[in-house]
Chain A
Amino acid sequence: DGGITQSPKYLFRKEGQNVTLSCEQNLNHDAMYWYRQDPGQGLRLIYYSQIVNDFQKGDIAEGYSVSREKKESFPLTVTSAQKNPTAFYLCASSPQAIGNTIYFGEGSWLTVV
């Protein structure tokens, strides 16, 4: 089935560690996104990519890094510079076209221990 796969579903990070969240899509979409969602809050854009080997900062990029080496993959690294990383992370993808629908993965919970 076509869709977006995020892994792991739950991840624990120790202070000072970098962790990487995986996002893979088989929808052949050009654009991919990472959002952060805090409890009871809306979605905030971390990074997005509209084409392979190119990506742009969103509203809250500090403390995060991404890569887009393949069309279907857009991993997010939460670095030790991110001081408050505990949140729900959502990956999404969409075609680059008018009226594009964004499709979401099931999300990943990151908790600092």
Chain B
Amino acid sequence: AQSVTQLDSHVSVSEGTPVLLRCNYSSSYSPSLFWYVQHPNKGLQLLLKYTSAATLVKGINGFEAEFKKSETSFHLTKPSAHMSDAAEYFCVVSESGGSYIPTFGRGTSLIVHP
């Protein structure tokens, strides 16, 4: 069975400061992990994904995430927040040995202050 927990429902940062969105997962098989971003009234856009290659994954818009098997974590980071980063972020897990049906976290709302 697979599950994903986003540890913060809201994260508030100032523009230009680092961003950290936390995600822990549980999986019976080798997982694929994803981060998606959703702007208001829009669909979800893929930021980055991990599929058992390099543990540090770089995505779009300066975001990156590190897969840590020992900690079962896949936290999303960005060195410097921009106002346009304000959105909802979803962590997603999909098991390679399962049915591939992904499981979504409940989302983290990123608020960026000027």
Binding site for B on A (CB under 8 A): 4, 31, 33, 41-43, 45, 48, 50, 88, 90, 92, 94, 96-107, 109
Contact = CB atoms under 8 A, between A and B. Distances in A.
A45 B96 CA distance: 19
Given A98-B96, A102-B102, A88 B41 contact: yes
Contacts of B104: 42-43
8 contacts: A4-B43, A42-B105, A88-B41, A92-B44, A97-B100, A99-B32, A100-B100, A104-B45
Interface of B: 32, 34, 36, 41-46, 49, 51-52, 90, 92, 94, 96, 99-102, 104-107
A31 B98 CA distance: 14
Contacts of B100: 31, 94, 96-98, 100
Given A90-B43, A99-B49, 11 more contacts: A41-B106, A42-B105, A42-B106, A50-B99, A92-B44, A98-B100, A99-B32, A100-B32, A100-B94, A100-B102, A107-B43
Contacts of B101: 33, 45, 48
B106 A107 contact: no
B97 to A, nearest CB: 9
